[in-house]
Amino acid sequence: MPGNSFGQLFRITTFGESHGAGIGVVIDGCPAGLEIDTEAVQQELNRRRPGQSEITSPRNEKDEVEFLSGLFEGKSTGAPLAMFIRNQDQRPGDYRHLQEGWRPGHADFTYDQKYGFRDHRGGGRSSARETAARVMAGAVAKQLLAKQHIHIAAYVSSVADIHVQAPYTSLDLSTTESTMVRCPEADTAARMIQLIEKVRDEGDTVGGIITCVAFGAPAGLGEPVFHKLQADLAGAMLSINAAKGFEIGSGFKGTEMRGSQHNDQFAAEVDPAGHPRFRTLTNHSGGIQGGISNGADIVFRVAFKPVSTLLQTQESVDKEGKTVNLEGKGRHDPCVLPRAVPIVEAMCALVLTDHLLLNRNARV
Amino acid sequence: MPGNSFGQLFRITTFGESHGAGIGVVIDGCPAGLEIDTEAVQQELNRRRPGQSEITSPRNEKDEVEFLSGLFEGKSTGAPLAMFIRNQDQRPGDYRHLQEGWRPGHADFTYDQKYGFRDHRGGGRSSARETAARVMAGAVAKQLLAKQHIHIAAYVSSVADIHVQAPYTSLDLSTTESTMVRCPEADTAARMIQLIEKVRDEGDTVGGIITCVAFGAPAGLGEPVFHKLQADLAGAMLSINAAKGFEIGSGFKGTEMRGSQHNDQFAAEVDPAGHPRFRTLTNHSGGIQGGISNGADIVFRVAFKPVSTLLQTQESVDKEGKTVNLEGKGRHDPCVLPRAVPIVEAMCALVLTDHLLLNRNARV
Amino acid sequence: MPGNSFGQLFRITTFGESHGAGIGVVIDGCPAGLEIDTEAVQQELNRRRPGQSEITSPRNEKDEVEFLSGLFEGKSTGAPLAMFIRNQDQRPGDYRHLQEGWRPGHADFTYDQKYGFRDHRGGGRSSARETAARVMAGAVAKQLLAKQHIHIAAYVSSVADIHVQAPYTSLDLSTTESTMVRCPEADTAARMIQLIEKVRDEGDTVGGIITCVAFGAPAGLGEPVFHKLQADLAGAMLSINAAKGFEIGSGFKGTEMRGSQHNDQFAAEVDPAGHPRFRTLTNHSGGIQGGISNGADIVFRVAFKPVSTLLQTQESVDKEGKTVNLEGKGRHDPCVLPRAVPIVEAMCALVLTDHLLLNRNARV
Amino acid sequence: MPGNSFGQLFRITTFGESHGAGIGVVIDGCPAGLEIDTEAVQQELNRRRPGQSEITSPRNEKDEVEFLSGLFEGKSTGAPLAMFIRNQDQRPGDYRHLQEGWRPGHADFTYDQKYGFRDHRGGGRSSARETAARVMAGAVAKQLLAKQHIHIAAYVSSVADIHVQAPYTSLDLSTTESTMVRCPEADTAARMIQLIEKVRDEGDTVGGIITCVAFGAPAGLGEPVFHKLQADLAGAMLSINAAKGFEIGSGFKGTEMRGSQHNDQFAAEVDPAGHPRFRTLTNHSGGIQGGISNGADIVFRVAFKPVSTLLQTQESVDKEGKTVNLEGKGRHDPCVLPRAVPIVEAMCALVLTDHLLLNRNARV
Chain B contact probe: residue of A15, A108, A204, A225 with most B CBs at under 10 A: A225
CA–CA dist D129, D136 (Å, integer)? 12
Q: What is the pLDDT of residue B92?
A: 55
> Which is nearest to B17 in space by CA: B100, B105, B95?
B95
Q: What residues form DSSP beta bridges with C28?
A: C11
Domain membership of residue C274 (yes or no) is no
* pLDDT at B347 exceeding the cut of 80: yes
Domain membership of residue B261 (yes or no) is no
pLDDT tens-place string over residues D81-115: 999 999 986 665 555 555 678 999 999 999 999 99
Q: What is the pLDDT of residue D91?
A: 61
Q: Which residues of B touch C361 (CB under 8 A)?
A: 9, 29, 31, 357, 360
Flag whether residue A339 sits within 8 Å of chain B, measured between CB atoms: no
The answer to whether D9 and D357 have CB atoms below 8 angstroms apart is yes
Q: Which residues of A touch D74 (CB under 8 A)?
A: none
Q: What is the pLDDT of residue C91?
A: 62
Flag whether residue A117 sits within 8 Å of chain B, measured between CB atoms: no
CA–CA dist B352, C160 (Å, integer)? 54
How distant is the Cα of C246 from the closest Cα of chain B, in angstroms?
27
Flag whether residue A251 sits within 8 Å of chain B, measured between CB atoms: yes
The answer to whether C39 and A86 have CB atoms below 8 angstroms apart is no
Q: Which residues of C touch A24 (CB under 8 A)?
A: 26, 68-69, 82
Q: How far is CA C324 from CA C100, C101, C315, D268, D276, in A?
A: 8, 6, 6, 11, 14
Domain membership of residue A116 (yes or no) is yes
* pLDDT at B84 exceeding the cut of 60: yes
Flag whether residue D32 sits within 8 Å of chain A, measured between CB atoms: yes
Residue B362's pLDDT band (boundaries 50, 70, 90)?
Answer: very high
Q: What is the pLDDT of residue B88?
A: 87
Q: What is the CA radius of gyration of chain D?
A: 21
Q: How far is CA B173 from CA B143, B147, B183, B285, D116, in A?
A: 19, 20, 9, 21, 38
* pLDDT at B87 exceeding the cut of 80: yes
Q: What is the pLDDT of residue A99?
A: 64
Q: Read off the DSSP letter of residue A249.
A: T
Q: What is the pLDDT of residue C53?
A: 87
> Which is nearest to B294 in space by CA: B303, B302, B284?
B284
Residues with pLDDT less than 50, chain A: none
Domain membership of residue C257 (yes or no) is no
Q: Read off the DSSP letter of residue A198.
A: H
What average pLDDT values come out for chain C (364 residues) when binned by 10 residues?
94 95 97 98 95 83 94 96 90 59 94 92 88 98 98 98 97 96 98 97 97 98 98 98 98 98 96 93 98 98 96 92 87 91 98 98 97
* pLDDT at B91 exceeding the cut of 80: no
Q: What is the pLDDT of residue D121?
A: 81
How distant is the Cα of A10 from the closest Cα of chain D, in angstroms?
10
8 Å CB contact of B239 and A251:
no
Domain membership of residue A345 (yes or no) is yes
SS3 B245: strand
8 Å CB contact of A361 and D33:
no
The answer to whether C228 and C291 have CB atoms below 8 angstroms apart is yes
SS3 B135: helix
- The minimal CB distance from A256 to the residues B6, B160, B259 is found for B160
The answer to whether B18 and B122 have CB atoms below 8 angstroms apart is yes
Handedness of CA B332, B334, B338, B343 (dihedral sign): positive
Domain membership of residue B275 (yes or no) is no
Element (H, E) at B280: strand B276-280
A-D Cβ pairs (cutoff 8 Å, strict): 44
B201: phi then psi, degrees, rounded to nearest 5 = -65, -25
Q: Read off the DSSP letter of residue A161.
A: T
Residues 36-95 of C with CB under 8 A from A: 66-72, 75, 77-82, 84
Q: Which residues of A touch C32 (CB under 8 A)?
A: 114-117
pLDDT tens-place string over residues D327-344: 887 677 899 999 999 999
Q: How far is CA B40 from CA A292, B6, B136, in A?
A: 34, 22, 9
The answer to whether A170 and A188 have CB atoms below 8 angstroms apart is no
Domain membership of residue B175 (yes or no) is yes
> Which is nearest to A36 in space by CA: A70, A76, A87?
A76
D145: phi then psi, degrees, rounded to nearest 5 = -65, -40
How distant is the Cα of C44 from the closest Cα of chain D, in angstroms?
20
How distant is the Cα of C16 from the closest Cα of chain B, in angstroms?
24
8 Å CB contact of A247 and B248:
no
Could you tell me which residues come within 8 angstroms of residue D354 by beta carbon, excluding any fewer than 6 positions away?
D7, D8, D9, D10, D11, D232
Strands (E), B17-80: 22-28, 66-69, 71-72, 75-76
Q: What residues form DSSP beta bridges with C128?
A: none
CA–CA dist B170, B185 (Å, integer)? 10
- The minimal CB distance from D303 to the residues C199, C254, C270 is found for C254
Flag whether residue C361 sits within 8 Å of chain A, measured between CB atoms: no
Q: Read off the DSSP letter of residue C113.
A: H
Q: How far is CA C80 from CA A113, A239, B225, C11, in A?
A: 18, 17, 10, 10
Q: How far is CA C27 from CA B53, B364, C323, in A?
A: 53, 15, 44
Q: What is the pLDDT of residue D57?
A: 82
- The minimal CB distance from C17 to the residues A20, A69, A117 is found for A69
Flag whether residue B191 sits within 8 Å of chain A, measured between CB atoms: no
Domains held by chain C: number: 1
| HSE-CB for A21 with a 13 A CA cutoff | 15
B-D Cβ pairs (cutoff 8 Å, strict): 158
D242 or D274: which carries more pLDDT confidence? Answer: D242
What is the average pLDDT across B288-295? 98
This complex has an ipTM of 0.97
> Would you tell me how many other CB atoms lie within 10 Å of the CB of residue D322?
12
pLDDT tens-place string over residues C257-315: 999 999 999 999 999 998 999 999 999 999 999 999 999 999 999 999 999 999 999 99
The answer to whether D304 and D243 have CB atoms below 8 angstroms apart is yes
Identify the domain containing residue A175 by its residue range: 5-249+285-359
* pLDDT at B90 exceeding the cut of 70: no
Q: What is the pLDDT of residue D330?
A: 67
Q: What is the pLDDT of residue B122?
A: 74
Q: What is the pLDDT of residue B104?
A: 94
Q: Subunits with at least 3 CB pairs below 8 A relative to chain D? A: A, B, C
Could you tell me which residues come within 8 angstroms of residue C60 by beta carbon, excluding any fewer than 6 positions away?
C50, C51, C89
CATH of the domain at C118: 3.60.150.10
> Would you tell me how many other CB atoms lie within 10 Å of the CB of residue A73?
8
Q: What residues form DSSP beta bridges with A71?
A: A76
Q: What is the pLDDT of residue C121?
A: 80
The answer to whether B214 and B348 have CB atoms below 8 angstroms apart is yes
Q: What is the pLDDT of residue D189?
A: 98
> Which is nearest to B262 in space by CA: B283, B289, B290?
B283
Domain membership of residue C185 (yes or no) is yes
Q: What is the pLDDT of residue D93?
A: 57
